[in-house]
Amino acid sequence: MKSIFHIGVCVAVLGGSAALAQGREMDVIRADRGGADEGLYFLLGAGAETYTGDLAPSMATAPAYGAHVGYKPTERFGIELGYNGAVSGVQVAGTRIEDVDVVRNGVQAAATLGLTRTRFQPYLMGGVGFESHNVRGGGEALGFGDDTNGYVPAGAGLRYNIGSFFTADARVNYNFTFGQDFAPGEVNDLGDGRVQGLLQLGGIF
């Protein structure tokens, strides 16, 4: 009876050790394949943005900033909520008008689709957003004014998992705006919008 008991204990110990080793091996394989990028993540970063179309000559290229919180139920598909903003100077004939700025703050919801399952993952993104423009420094005298409107962000990015807990993200997106009534003149054509690029760092949970 004791021999049977000892054999049972040995089998249980060996089975547990094998399961633990297999679990660790699967973690390594999962990390190598980029599987660590599943789950909750956050990103924080900065970059630049510039306006296109009829508004481009009036708005200087500006520093931009952003933060995103998302969830990836699979290695390739994700959903995220984000904030992004910029402070753009007003210019005439390429010369910036001193002290006149347009402060933009926007929030958006987007979906991301990874093109691979690897740790270095290119992806596509698209969604919908809402933003406000606030004019400072006397821009009202030039025809600028505070305004709110919606936009559609669409773009692409590259994400790299740094180990199991950190990630780096670079993305460029074009924002199709529903209107640009904060600026003087008719600048609501389909081609009018904004290009934004961000480099972000963050964590995975």
Domain positions in the chain are: 1-32, 37-204
**Alpha-carbon span 152 to 178, nearest angstrom:** 8
The per-residue pLDDT for 128 is: 97
Residue 204: how many CB atoms within 10 A of its CB? Answer: 18
- Per-residue pLDDT tens for 134-147? 999 988 888 889 99
Amino acid identity for residue 11 in this structure:
V
The per-residue pLDDT for 199 is: 98
Say what the pTM is. 0.78
The per-residue pLDDT for 194 is: 93
The per-residue pLDDT for 23 is: 44
**Fold of domain 37-204:** Porin (2.40.160)
The per-residue pLDDT for 189 is: 61
Give me the residue label for tokens 């599943």: 38
In sequence order, what E strands does the chain have? 39-52, 62-72, 77-92, 95-114, 120-136, 147-162, 166-177, 193-204
The per-residue pLDDT for 33 is: 45
Counting as low any pLDDT under 70, the low residues of the chain are: 1-36, 186-191
